Amino acid sequence: MFLELLEKIQSNIDILLTLALFVLRCYRLLCYTTYTFDMFPIVNPYNWPLSFINTLTRPYFRFIKKFFKAVYLGGIIRFDISPIIAFLLLETAYRNLLFIQQICSKIL
């Protein structure tokens, strides 16, 4: 009885971690797409499908931008480091979830 319950818990944890990894991987792709197309002035971000991608990713970038302001170099030059930190946070979250999934698969 106890072993069956433990196997169900293990299965549920594995499914949840796999789903979280998939969602995080897709969101990373959307964030990369947003910033890649921001470099091209010909592409209109307000047309479909980029408007949908912007709707999903801009709140995350705005949230990170609140905490990490632009760095001023020399007084005239301004360098915004918030996108770099946003991508680093996404990558760190993905790798930590992957590490947790590996640990849980070995323990359970």
Quickly list H helices, the chain. 2-38, 50-67, 82-107
Q: Is the pLDDT of residue 46 over 70?
A: yes
pTM of the prediction? 0.81
> What does the pLDDT average to over 24-35?
92
> What does the pLDDT average to over 4-33?
87
Closest CA to 90 of 26, 19, 39: 26
Residue 83 CA: distances (Å) to CA of 10, 58, 65, 100:
36, 11, 8, 26
Task: Tell me the residue range of the domain where 93 lies.
Answer: 2-107
What is the per-residue pLDDT across 59-89, written as a single tens digit (0 to 9) for each? 999 999 999 888 888 778 888 888 899 999 9
Report pLDDT for 79.
84
Report pLDDT for 108.
64
Residue 73 CA: distances (Å) to CA of 37, 50, 59, 70, 78:
26, 32, 27, 10, 6
> What does the pLDDT average to over 24-37?
91
